[in-house]
Chains A and B, each alone.
Chain A
């Protein structure tokens, strides 16, 4: 039985187990299930998956719903948290909520679980209003919707500025040879509210892990959302991250994606601008080696006038690693005075590394500023010589150059402790200790 058949066969058992009150939601899930039954998994024949093959990942015999209740010691996993500052934490172990590792609140705002929001009638109105409203019908998103049950549910009411960042962390202990996870997050940020979120998927096993995650974020007028994704997983963990963001007028939303590890990582990041004076910021650093693969597939949909989008993705590829950047910007006819900016710069450290970069601009308005720049190159030899001349050995000099190359993304991280953490991960990956925080 292949994975698709196995998943289909498991659906009835899943339905019996879950407790969703709303018929509306149940209908959405049934429809998504039927859609997945028809379309199945994406293949390289699809334009959007031309450079990323999931074949090797889909071959595994996945355990779909880990049954055991697993506990992990804080000391074992502390390093995966940003722990030098106070934060809210929503932590899952093998898809189950860990109240021991979490720190949540229901006071003035909801930072809790999707499963309880789905099960309790007091959340029905919000759930029915937002759930699956912007997630598309793509193969894997539909699959996630069909099995949507657990994840973070965050609802920030009007005028609330959340005083500390929220961390969403999914640990996978994976006692079976292969485990598949499908977390589903729903984040609703009301008018004039402000929130910072850090998301991480972390495998604690050498067994295979496949995570197919969907996150929907709604930013109402005058709100600000800063979202950070840390992807520094083990070599046997693959991730398909599907994130959808809807912005109303006068909002600023940013997503930073730090892709430092994992087996195959695919980021489907979609921004929909549903008002005026919106700023959408998409930034990323990819720094990989071995046979790792990272694919950034972005979409910014400019629908209304007077909005901006800024994309800045830096990629550094060593050994036999491969990267994809597929950045699509659509500017509708009504979206005059749009300012859309896209930058994608790549450095290939090794002759065996590959990057496939494909900017895609579809512009139907005539009074717009759209720019895109894509570069693929090697490390600057003159820069290396300059630093070596000052006594800095080649390895350290290379690290400094890579750091300098990624700096435009790093410097826009608004949480200083997170910025330091990213710097340390980079320094560790590059095997350097420069006597100051990279």
Chain B
């Protein structure tokens, strides 16, 4: 599904990604781990199309199509979803109105009519129930005054509504208590299928207890320096990142 080949990227002439190779197939869950400043969030933002980064080498393809020149919304229309570490507050626009706009703009881009209001409402109710969100929550202004847990839950709610092919969860576990973590992870697991793929970016093993990865990659200094199965995450949890740094040195 996603092929990243020799990806180099920089911001303000500072190179952050220094040659990333990653292959993600449909039905797989990949975890990206690594110390602070390794380039994990940068990689997520570049896949999603954030404009301030410059790709200096390599390419990103989604289902065989090079997406590295597309605008963020075009990538979203093709099924890329990024759960933000810090979702933006939008006063005056409710959770419901925002997701309606997102869905109908995506449909418009595909040449489809707006989703009938009845179907939309039904879907919103189903997906809100999945994330254990009540109705009052849906009429609040998007992310305004939300707790950390509410913000993340709302991100996964939007993911559930948009049904992406590739979901990238950027530090979705940060700021979550154990109950919220369980709800969020449960939501992600229910959305997983053989047709979509998930990339989980995290510092800690904790989230991976709930969302089981097929592959774990360690990102360090802009490169994937080690890949393995779920046991690699446990090893990192136990030993920290220093042994990898030593191995590299």
Q: Interface on A for B, CB 8 Å cutoff?
A: 380-383, 385-394, 396-397, 400-401, 403-404, 407-408, 410-411, 434-436
Are the C-beta atoms of A382 and B77 separated by less than 8 Å? no
Give the Cβ gap from A126 to chain B, nearest Cβ, in Å. 42
When distances are taken between beta carbons in the complex, the residues of chain B under 8 Å from A411 are 92
Say yes or no: is B162 at the interface (Cβ < 8 Å to chain A).
yes
With A391-B102, A394-B73, A434-B101 already in contact, the answer to whether A404 and B158 are too (CB < 8 A) is no
Say yes or no: is B205 at the interface (Cβ < 8 Å to chain A).
no
With A385-B50, A390-B162, A392-B105 already in contact, the answer to whether A436 and B100 are too (CB < 8 A) is yes
B88's contact among A382, A391, A403, A436, by CB below 8 Å, is which? A382
A407's contact among B92, B114, B158, by CB below 8 Å, is which? B92
Are the C-beta atoms of B88 and A380 separated by less than 8 Å? yes
Are the C-beta atoms of B158 and A390 separated by less than 8 Å? yes
Are the C-beta atoms of A435 and B100 separated by less than 8 Å? yes
Say yes or no: is B109 at the interface (Cβ < 8 Å to chain A).
yes
When distances are taken between beta carbons in the complex, the residues of chain A under 8 Å from B145 are none
Closest chain A residue to B78, Cβ basis: A391
9 pairs of A and B residues whose beta carbons are closest in the complex: A407-B92, A388-B72, A391-B106, A391-B76, A390-B102, A407-B91, A386-B88, A383-B88, A388-B73
Extra contacts besides A393-B105, A403-B92 (16): CB < 8 Å: A383-B88, A387-B90, A388-B49, A389-B72, A389-B73, A390-B76, A390-B162, A391-B105, A392-B101, A400-B101, A404-B90, A407-B92, A407-B141, A411-B92, A435-B104, A435-B114
Per the bound structure, the CA–CA distance linking A269 and B240 in Å amounts to 63
Give the Cβ gap from B99 to chain A, nearest Cβ, in Å. 8
Say yes or no: is B52 at the interface (Cβ < 8 Å to chain A).
yes
| 30 sample A-B contacts, Cβ–Cβ < 8 Å, listed by A number | A383-B88, A385-B72, A386-B87, A388-B49, A389-B49, A389-B72, A389-B75, A389-B82, A390-B99, A390-B158, A391-B102, A391-B106, A391-B162, A392-B102, A396-B105, A400-B90, A401-B90, A403-B93, A404-B89, A404-B90, A404-B91, A404-B92, A407-B92, A408-B91, A410-B92, A434-B97, A434-B101, A435-B100, A435-B101, A436-B97
Are the C-beta atoms of A394 and B105 separated by less than 8 Å? no
B76's contact among A389, A434, A435, A436, by CB below 8 Å, is which? A389
Per the bound structure, the CA–CA distance linking A385 and B82 in Å amounts to 11
When distances are taken between beta carbons in the complex, the residues of chain A under 8 Å from B90 are 383, 387, 400-401, 404
Closest chain A residue to B80, Cβ basis: A389
Q: Interface on B for A, CB 8 Å cutoff?
A: 45, 48-52, 71-73, 75-77, 80-82, 84, 86-93, 97-106, 109, 114, 141, 158, 162
Closest chain B residue to A437, Cβ basis: B97
Query: What's the A-B contact tally at a CB cutoff of 8 Å?
Result: 86
When distances are taken between beta carbons in the complex, the residues of chain A under 8 Å from B102 are 387, 390-392
When distances are taken between beta carbons in the complex, the residues of chain A under 8 Å from B49 are 388-389
Are the C-beta atoms of A400 and B162 separated by less than 8 Å? no
Are the C-beta atoms of B73 and A393 separated by less than 8 Å? yes
Per the bound structure, the CA–CA distance linking A435 and B51 in Å amounts to 27
When distances are taken between beta carbons in the complex, the residues of chain B under 8 Å from A392 are 73, 101-102, 105
B71's contact among A394, A401, A407, by CB below 8 Å, is which? A394
When distances are taken between beta carbons in the complex, the residues of chain A under 8 Å from B97 are 434, 436
Are the C-beta atoms of B71 and A400 separated by less than 8 Å? no
When distances are taken between beta carbons in the complex, the residues of chain A under 8 Å from B105 are 391-393, 396
Are the C-beta atoms of A388 and B92 separated by less than 8 Å? no
Are the C-beta atoms of A389 and B48 separated by less than 8 Å? yes
Per the bound structure, the CA–CA distance linking A380 and B75 in Å amounts to 20
When distances are taken between beta carbons in the complex, the residues of chain B under 8 Å from A391 are 73, 76-77, 102-103, 105-106, 109, 162
Closest chain B residue to A432, Cβ basis: B101
Closest chain B residue to A386, Cβ basis: B88
Per the bound structure, the CA–CA distance linking A97 and B86 in Å amounts to 56
When distances are taken between beta carbons in the complex, the residues of chain A under 8 Å from B77 are 391
Closest chain B residue to A390, Cβ basis: B102
